[in-house]
Every structure is written in C-alpha cells, then in structure tokens.
Structure 1
Amino acid sequence: MLLISLSKVQRKIVESIRERRLQMELTQEGLSQRADVPLSTLRKFEQKGSISLDSLLKILSVVGGLEEIVDALKPKQQHFKSIDEVLKPEEKTTRKRGKRK
C-alpha cells in the first residue's frame, strides 16, 4: 500500500539530489560533467523530475545514495514459502511441565 503519492516521491528525490549537489558545491554544469549526463537532462530532472534510470544512477554515483537505493530494494525475508503455509491453521502447542519430585 502506497502511503505517499508518486509525485511527492518524485519531488522528494529531486530535492534530495539537488541538496546533495549544493552541499558538494557543484553547479548543474559540474554535476552533469562528472556524471556524464547531458546538462539539459539534469536541468529537466531538477525542474520536472523526469529522468531515465540510467541517468539517475549516474547522478547518484556522483552525489551519493546509490548504495542506499540498492539496500532499500533488497527483497525482504519471506515469512511464507507457499500459499499452503498461509492458509494452514495454526498448530496448537501443548504445554510442557517439568516432573514433580
């Protein structure tokens, strides 16, 4: 279930990358050269949030955050291996007691 709209996510990504660029004291031109992304692509991204995945990854490799994205996309541990495990009734555990002396 998505709790935030895609447009808000897009804006947050743009703002984060722009902030990282400014913290590194890079101009748009400087970042575009370092990332090997056309300046027009970077400008369009910062204005409208539109960019190819390849260009986004190149930019993230310069400003940082690439590893964070990779870690965030790792699959979560599965709790169930099949639908049968989901549907089977819970097994009742019997209480065990120690022997009295």
Structure 2
Amino acid sequence: MQNKFVYDPYPLQVTMQRLAENLKARRLEKKLSTKSLAEMSGVPASSIQRFELKHSISLESYVKLAKALGYSEEIMQLLSEPKYDTMEELLEINKNRTRKRGV
C-alpha cells in the first residue's frame, strides 16, 4: 500500500495548544490549582504550568493528567477505531486487522 497524503488542517502547534487549553479549562472547572492537580496526578506542577503556557508535555504526563481529571475512558478511546475515507481503504484496513508488523 502506498503512502497517501492525509489533509490535516491543524498544524502540530495548534493541536498542542488546543490540548493545553482544554486541560486548563477542565482543571479550572473543577476549581483545581496546578499544585492540587499535581498532587492528584503525580505530574510536577512545573510540568503542568509549562504545558499550559508553552504547550509541551510528555505523553505519559498528559495521560496522567487526563486520568486525574476523570478522562480515562476518553483516553482509552483515542485511536481505538480505524479511520478511512474510501471503501477501498476500509477494505484494506479490514484485510490488515490481524497484522503484527508493518510492511
């Protein structure tokens, strides 16, 4: 299967910024300080502050924060279903479901 260009209207920095904004909004809705969220999640408050300001964080820390805020199910659902644009692509996905390695 050849590589296909996938249109993505969101540059990486825009995506990271949105994730940081969403996390901060959820934190504030629950009236949590960065210190309290740090205690709940095990992620240092400085990492939370850096993420909210500079949009940079490790995947492990992001998952810990999401779980601490009650988003375990949403994290588990991320990328859980195949995404396709054409019937041909869906057929190829279904054909490759049991693959253990890439090409």
Q: How does the TM-score come out when normalised to structure 1? A: 0.72
What residue number does 1:92 align with? none
Quote how far apart the aligned CAs of 1:59 are.
0.3
Structure 1 position 60 matched with structure 2 position 66: yes
User: What are the superposed Cα offsets for residues 35-59 of structure 1, whole Å, 9 maximum, x if unpaired?
Assistant: 0111111111111011111111100
Matched, 1:47 2:53: yes
1:79 matched to 2:85? The reply is: no
Specify which of 37, 60, 65 is matched with residue 31 of structure 1.
37
Deviations 1:3-43 (A, max 9, x none): 11111111110010000000111001000110011111111
* 1:19 aligned residue (17, 25, 33): 25
Point out where structure 2 has 5 or more consecutive residues left out of the alignment.
1-6, 84-88, 94-103
Q: Which shifted more, 52-61 or 71-80?
A: 71-80
The alpha carbon displacement at 1:75 in A equals: 3.3
What is the rounded CA distance, in whole Å, between the counterparts of 1:79 and 1:56 in structure 2? 31
Larger radius of gyration: 1
Work out the CA distance in 2 between the residues paired with 1:23 and 1:29.
Answer: 15
Q: Cα offset for 1:66?
A: 3.3
Deviations 1:53-101 (A, max 9, x none): 111110000113332232131131762248xxxxxxxxxxxxxxxxxxx
Tell me the distance in 1 between the aligned counterparts of 2:78 and 2:48: 24
SS in 1 for 2:91: coil
Aligned residues: 82
Question: What is the aligned-residue RMSD (CA, Å)?
Answer: 1.8
